[in-house]
Chain A
Amino acid sequence: MADILLEIKDLKVHFPIRSTNFFGGTTQYVKAVDGVSFYIEKGETLGLVGESGSGKTTIGRSILRAIEPTEGQVTFNLDGQKVDLTQLQGKDLRAFRRHMQLIFQDPYSSLNPRMTVRDIIAEPLVASKLATGKEVDRQVREAAASCKLNLEYLRRFPHAFSGGQRQRIGIARALISRPQFVVCDESVSALDVSIQAEVLNLLMDLQAEFGFTYLFIAHDLSVVAHISKRVAVMYLGQFAELAPTKQLFYTPRHPYTEALMSAIPEVNPDVEMTPVSLKGEIPSPVNPLSGCRFHTRCLYVQDKCKTEIPQWREIEDGHFVARHFADTLALKGVTSLDSSDGMN
């Protein structure tokens, strides 16, 4: 097994919500992330999928300490030296931030309209005091060039660029401090199909060149499958399943994964979509259910699921699942479509 870059143990992020009444206030918690453990290998891409409200973004941001985790450990392996990110404070944390970066979803609101492209890309260098003077310029040009940005445009402002170009500016900004770990939070979701392909290719090229490790969060399953080595499926603040991409897509072991896979619209009118219909919608994360969190919508629910919390366990090499009957039920993955190759 390759080196582990990040190990997350029992991560919890709870947001307090206060409701006041005549007798004072009661505090309840939105359990956005509620006990998640996993690891990310050096140089790999871990995909993270799940419905809106499942806690994908919160996980990404709490690892980066953009949101304070409530509980748990995040161990970052910085060239052999192990650092617990949740314990870092003040100066140490600020100094550490150069090793982790975030690429945002919306290329329009994530760039300051009053800064030139050069200043935007240079900001991580300046903020971490990694370079000064001419050296900043040199590195900005290098980062911009590797993101295929036209160097003549560095003095322009973001509004002069199209969505795809803006996203490349965002990527250049993220990679200039040579981070080890990059969170891509829906980074290609707002882009058109033809532009999305280019940005995905760029992210993969940069990974090959600089050895970045990505946590790739997206709701488009085929995009996640394309870029990720392993994929985690999240449901209501917890992981339902985590496995190598092909295993997860072709032989899912969790009913929720099965439902997700069956809902992918196939780009072929001959293959009819037969979605496993989930009853209702994702329940509220304020008072999560007893037992398995998925039991209200599961097709295979049994009495045990309603009371006992399923263990997160490894059922095959690298294939994790939180489910009671993982060994007894056969589930359907995506069907292989060798004959559907209609592109001429």
Chain B
Amino acid sequence: MSKTTEQIERDTLLEVNDLKVSFKTDEGIIVAVDGVTFSVERGQTLGIVGESGSGKSVSVKAIMQLLPRTAIVGQESSIQWCSKNGDIIEITRLKKAGREMRRIRGGEIGMIFQEPMSSFSPVHTIGNQIMEAILQHRQVNKLEAHEIAIDMLDKVGISNPSVRVDQYSFELSGGMRQRAMIAVTLSMNPSLLIADEPTTSLDVTIQAQILELMNQLQEELGMAIIFITHNLGVIAQVADEVAVMYLGHILERGTAKEIVLQSQHPYTQSLLRAIPHLDRLGERLTAISGDIPSPLERPGGCPFHTRCEQVIAGVCDTQRPALTRISSTHTVHCFLHE
């Protein structure tokens, strides 16, 4: 590989800096994402793992500007997007329904969701919904769009695409619906694909098919992926880089290997110990004590200190741990490493 192509591949596509998102509710203000910083490189896959309430979905919805009206994005937050024509765009400054944002949403950043059933309209055919996206973002007529739609369905491995294109979403099975969803997204040729728990509701065999498909399409089209999941097995298989989130914070970041095999944060370590492993059948699982704190009662200091076994009294519950660099790619927020 020549140096120039390597240079381009390493280009940063998306840079999120100090992202804060809170929601106004009747019971008070809920801070869902509290100062999150990450970036996505061209052609790479960033995995975000976290349990419910960790703010992983809210973070990516902020990138797409798909948050509900009650959401407040922090003043200092910045989301910089490297557009297809080379411009650096500050997404937080764009109007939600403005022209520029609508061009980016779908056209440059595509998104697939967890529930393939509810993300399709039940009263339009699959083909219509793919065509709608194509007509919005590309200069083609209806006939050409129809052709592209069939082509895309074929590309994502749906057999008999010329028949399927005229079917409704309820006529497809879960795995096929997710494939069709990917077809909708890819028909606009995005440079970044955000996948929010895309395989969570699918069977393992279908999950393996979808993961393989995404992998193959990424190689073919060179797009970057943000892959959100709570499944550590899936993340280990798909991600180049992993960010571990808990209660709106990124606690640890590193390559997939560093996170799974050399994790440094007690939270990541306990998550890995809590999943059943085929090598240790029948052994007792090490559960993380306590429950995930309610969003209205977010603990001060390190967000994990209420459940951490290695908590340092007087330190972890009062101060926020700073970023510690373990290696050039591996960073962690924990007092044990400061």
A266 at interface, CB cutoff 8 A: yes
- Considering only residues 245-263 of chain A, those with a C-beta below 8 Å from chain B are 245-246, 249, 259-260, 262-263
Q: In the complex, are the beta carbons of A267 and B271 less than 8 A apart?
A: no
Q: In the complex, are the beta carbons of A193 and B51 less than 8 A apart?
A: yes
Interface flags for B264-278 (1: CB within 8 Å of A; 0: not) read 000001111111111
B256 at interface, CB cutoff 8 A: yes
Residues in A whose Cβ lies below 8 Å from that of B263: 343-344
Q: In the complex, are the beta carbons of B262 and A342 less than 8 A apart?
A: yes
Residues in A whose Cβ lies below 8 Å from that of B119: none
Q: In the complex, are the beta carbons of A51 and B262 less than 8 A apart?
A: no
- Residue from the list A259, A270, A334, A336 in contact with B257, Cβ < 8 A: A270
A269 at interface, CB cutoff 8 A: yes
Report the minimum CB–CB distance from B118 to chain A (whole Å): 16
Report the minimum CB–CB distance from A338 to chain B (whole Å): 7
Report the minimum CB–CB distance from A259 to chain B (whole Å): 6
- Residue from the list A246, A249, A281 in contact with B175, Cβ < 8 A: A281
- Considering only residues 250-299 of chain B, those with a C-beta below 8 Å from chain A are 256-257, 260-263, 269-279, 281-282, 284-288, 291-292, 294
Q: In the complex, are the beta carbons of A260 and B278 less than 8 A apart?
A: no
Q: In the complex, are the beta carbons of A249 and B278 less than 8 A apart?
A: yes
Interface flags for A275-297 (1: CB within 8 Å of B; 0: not) read 10110111000000000000000
Most buried by B among A219, A275, A336: A275
Q: In the complex, are the beta carbons of B274 and A197 less than 8 A apart?
A: yes
Q: In the complex, are the beta carbons of A265 and B236 less than 8 A apart?
A: yes
B319 at interface, CB cutoff 8 A: no
Most buried by A among B230, B276, B279: B276
Residues in A whose Cβ lies below 8 Å from that of B237: 265-266, 269, 272-273
Interface flags for B123-147 (1: CB within 8 Å of A; 0: not) read 0000000000000000000000000
Residues in A whose Cβ lies below 8 Å from that of B261: 268-270, 340, 342
Residues in A whose Cβ lies below 8 Å from that of B173: 281-282
Q: In the complex, are the beta carbons of A225 and B208 less than 8 A apart?
A: no
| Closest chain A residue to B237, Cβ basis | A265
Q: In the complex, are the beta carbons of A267 and B281 less than 8 A apart?
A: no
Residues in B whose Cβ lies below 8 Å from that of A342: 260-262, 272
- Residue from the list B230, B279, B291 in contact with A162, Cβ < 8 A: B291
- Residue from the list A163, A260, A338 in contact with B204, Cβ < 8 A: A260
B318 at interface, CB cutoff 8 A: no
Residues in B whose Cβ lies below 8 Å from that of A225: 276, 278, 281
- Residue from the list B260, B273, B276 in contact with A226, Cβ < 8 A: B276
Q: List 24 A-B contacts (CB under 8 A).
A: A164-B291, A165-B291, A194-B51, A195-B291, A197-B275, A198-B288, A200-B276, A201-B284, A201-B285, A219-B203, A222-B277, A260-B205, A265-B207, A265-B208, A267-B272, A269-B239, A269-B261, A275-B209, A281-B173, A336-B279, A342-B260, A342-B272, A344-B262, A344-B269
The 8 residue pairs across chains A and B that have the minimum distance between CB atoms: A342-B261, A226-B276, A265-B233, A275-B208, A198-B287, A194-B288, A263-B208, A197-B274
Q: A265-B233, A265-B237 are in contact. List 13 more A-B contacts (CB 8 A).
A: A164-B291, A194-B292, A267-B233, A269-B256, A270-B261, A273-B237, A336-B279, A337-B279, A340-B261, A343-B269, A343-B273, A344-B262, A344-B263
